[in-house]
Amino acid sequence: GQNIDQPTEMTATEGAIVQINCTYQTSGFNGLFWYQQHAGEAPTFLSYNVLDGLEEKGRFSSFLSRSKGYSYLLLKELQMKDSASYLCAVGNAGNNRKLIWGLGTSLAVNP
């Protein structure tokens, strides 16, 4: 089957570092995406990993281990505006190249 797991909720303090984990099981793998979604808004693209390793982009980094079916999103120097839902999505290979989405992790950043 196809399944993506990520924690439902996380809380962190402004200025701290937080790691949001995502594990997946899919029939074929064609890249993993992280999206940010603020309440009432559409998801916005954060990162993409298709090879093992760490991708860094400013305060955000994303890691992938294909053998473990595991990824994490690392947010540094947290700001209040980082309070949002973080969605992990996996692209499956094959003719139906849809994205399989996790339920999202709701992150609350406190002062």
Partner 1 sequence: DAGVTQSPTHLIKTRGQQVTLRCSPISGHKSVSWYQQVLGQGPQFIFQYYEKEERGRGNFPDRFSARQFPNYSSELNVNALLLGDSALYLCASSLSTGQGARNEQFFGPGTRLTVL
Which residues would be at the binding site for partner 1 (CB under 8 A)?
A: 30-31, 33, 41-45, 48, 50, 87, 89, 91, 95-104
CA 10 → CA 3, 19, 40, 56, 69, distances in Å? 20, 9, 19, 21, 21
DSSP state of 78: -
Q: Mapping DSSP to helix (H, G, I), strand (E, B) and coil, where does residue 102 land?
A: coil
Pick between residue 7 and residue 31 the one whose CB is nearest to partner 1: 31
Pick between residue 12 and residue 49 the one whose CB is nearest to partner 1: 49
Pick between residue 42 and residue 111 the one whose CB is nearest to partner 1: 42
